[in-house]
Amino acid sequence: MEYQQIKNTFWVIIGAWLANLVQVSVLAHLNLFGGQPNLIAIGAVCFLLLGRTNLGLIWIYIGSGLFDALLGTYGITTAPLLFAYGISYLLLRHIFNNLPWLATIIIGLILLGSSEVLIAIKYNAWVQYIKDLSFGLIILGPLTFYIKEKSSAYKNTINYKF
């Protein structure tokens, strides 16, 4: 492992920890539309759109693992988020050519939605789920637009047809 990779990994771990701190403090009190979106999922969207897939995986493992530990149920957000991350990666690589902005929003919603889907199913908490998605979408909209403008990670990928 190169020095730069170790450094990036270190900062991603620190970032995931900080995201959890923000999640349980600022976001827990903010209550915009009564929602509390998953920052780890939003962060994963950024890594995916920036083409830093490996760092995104570390982000999810550490951040979502900590998230689950705080909830007291291991894997309840990590597992679906990892699954959605994989699916989104495939979508980005093979279907969304040139990455339109709407596609980034869809990818964001897939990841954000997946992170809480098991909790929503288990406790039948769909109203809160929608509220969390609404709040998350407000953050995702400008964020993905900015990243899409800055990133060229997926601009020259092959466009498969089903």
Residues forming contacts to other proteins in the complex (CB under 8 A) are 20-21, 23-25, 27-29, 31, 34-36, 38, 67, 70-73, 77, 116, 119-120, 123-125, 127-129, 131-132
Name the minimum Å distance from CB 122 to other proteins: 8
Name the minimum Å distance from CB 156 to other proteins: 38
Name the minimum Å distance from CB 18 to other proteins: 13
Buried residues in 108-147 as b, exposed as e (16+ CB within 10 A): bbbbbbbbbbbbbeeeeeeeebebbbebbbebbeebbeeb
Quote the CA–CA distance of 23 and 37 in Å, as a whole number.
8
Q: Name which of 10, 28, 20 is nearest 77 in CA terms.
A: 20
Query: Toward other proteins, which CB reaches closer, 92 or 119?
Result: 119
Query: Toward other proteins, which CB reaches closer, 77 or 151?
Result: 77
Name the minimum Å distance from CB 135 to other proteins: 10
Query: Toward other proteins, which CB reaches closer, 11 or 126?
Result: 126
Query: Toward other proteins, which CB reaches closer, 117 or 143?
Result: 117
What are the backbone angles phi and psi of residue 125, rounded to the nearest 5°?
-110, 60
Quote the CA–CA distance of 2 and 157 in Å, as a whole number.
27
